[in-house]
Amino acid sequence: MLTQKTLGFIGAGNLAEAIIKGLLASKAAVASRIVVSDKISERLVLMAETYEVKVCNKNFEVAKNADIIFITVKPNDVQGTLSEIAAELTKDKLLISAAAGITTGFIEDTLRASGLKSPYVPVIRAMPNTPVIVREGATALFAGEGAKAFGMKFAKAVFSAVGKVIIVEDEALMDAVTGLSGSGPAYIFLIMQAMAQAGVQNGLTEDDAKLLAIQTTLGSAKLALDGNKPLTELIRMVASPGGTTIEGLKKLEESGTAKAIISAITAAVKRADELKRAR
Residues 257 and 160 in one domain: no
Residues 90 and 161 in one domain: yes
* Residue 200: CB atoms within 10 Å: 14
Domain count within the chain: 2
Q: pLDDT tens digits, residue range 201-232?
A: 999 999 999 999 999 999 999 999 987 899 99
* CATH number, residue 270: 1.10.3730.10
Residues 50 and 129 in one domain: yes
Looking at the domain assignment, is residue 175 inside a domain? no
Looking at the domain assignment, is residue 174 inside a domain? no
Residues 154 and 237 in one domain: no
Residues 125 and 20 in one domain: yes
pLDDT for 113: 95
Length of the chain: 279
Last residue of a domain, one of 169, 193, 225: 169
Between helices 14-25 and 151-160, what is the axis angle to 10°? 90
**Over pLDDT 70: what percentage of the chain?**
99
Q: Are 69 and 95 in contact (CB under 8 A)?
A: yes
* CATH number, residue 121: 3.40.50.720
Looking at the domain assignment, is residue 148 inside a domain? yes
**Sign for the pseudo-dihedral over CA of 221, 226, 232, 238:** negative
Residues 105 and 165 in one domain: yes
Residues 123 and 228 in one domain: no
Looking at the domain assignment, is residue 177 inside a domain? no
pLDDT for 149: 66
Residues 133 and 11 in one domain: yes
Task: Name 95's bridge partners.
Answer: 69, 123
Domain of residue 266 covers 184-277
Residues 228 and 147 in one domain: no
pLDDT means over runs of 10, the chain (279 residues): 90 93 90 96 97 96 96 94 95 93 93 90 94 93 83 92 94 95 96 98 98 98 91 95 95 96 96 84
Residues 41 and 143 in one domain: yes
